Chains A and B, each alone.
Chain A
Amino acid sequence: RKEVEQDPGPFNVPEGATVAFNCTYSNSASQSFFWYRQDCRKEPKLLMSVYSSGNEDGRFTAQLNRASQYISLLIRDSKLSDSATYLCVVNSDNYGQNFVFGPGTRLSVLP
């Protein structure tokens, strides 16, 4: 089983739609969780951290479920500019406490 798994998509949604991505992780000791955004042929950029109590940043909401070992990202009122690949990132006990990236979920917001 991969350490971090994501639905690869693509998710094709119309502008204004609400879309949710899930990410599962295998290391129950993981403590830090993030969502990154990667535009086509660009480097990943931090979108938001994921806190135990859940957190919101504008149209984006992140949730953590430790019991089931998954995190989610909800995007409300999708914009064309939200089209990107969304990467789930979890800290790992391997490789000096580094972080493991999921393979990403591709989102296309259609006009």
Chain B
Amino acid sequence: NAGVTQTPKFQVLKTGQSMTLQCAQDMNHNSMYWYRQDPGMGLRLIYYSASEGTTDKGEVPNGYNVSRLNKREFSLRLESAAPSQTSVYFCASIFNYGYTFGSGTRLTVV
């Protein structure tokens, strides 16, 4: 089915470890996003990519890096995980005004 695919669905990291969250969309959308969701905080934008080859910081970019590998793929990297990065991460793409979200990655940093 068309949509946004995120991997992994769950991950536990130790403080200081690194990992990359993968995201791919098959809807030929230009814009892709990474959000984190914490209780009571709503979704907060980490990074976004308006088109292939471009990336920009969102509201909470510290501790993260991104790569827009091609039009389909937009990855999020944690270089040195911290407990404050424990969260649910959602990738999304957008066409006109509707977001399509991936199913999320539940990340715990211990």
Contact = CB atoms under 8 A, between A and B. Distances in A.
B42 interface: yes
Contacts of A44: 43, 90, 99, 101
Interface size class on chain B is 20 to 34
B97 A49 contact: yes
A87 interface: yes
A98 B97 CA distance: 10
Chain A CB within 10 Å, residue with most, of B35, B59, B97, B104: B97
A66 interface: no
Nearest to B102: A43
B103 A101 contact: no
Given A43-B104, A87-B42, A99 B99 contact: yes
Chain A CB within 10 Å, residue with most, of B40, B42, B43, B98: B42
Nearest to A43: B101
A104 B43 CA distance: 9
A95 B45 CA distance: 9
A96 B42 contact: no
| Ranked 6 nearest A-B pairs via Cβ | A43-B101, A103-B42, A101-B43, A101-B42, A95-B58, A46-B98
17 contacts: A32-B97, A34-B97, A36-B99, A42-B103, A43-B102, A43-B103, A43-B104, A44-B43, A44-B101, A45-B101, A46-B99, A89-B99, A91-B97, A94-B59, A95-B48, A98-B48, A101-B42
Interface of B: 33, 35, 40-45, 48, 50, 56-59, 90, 97-99, 101-104
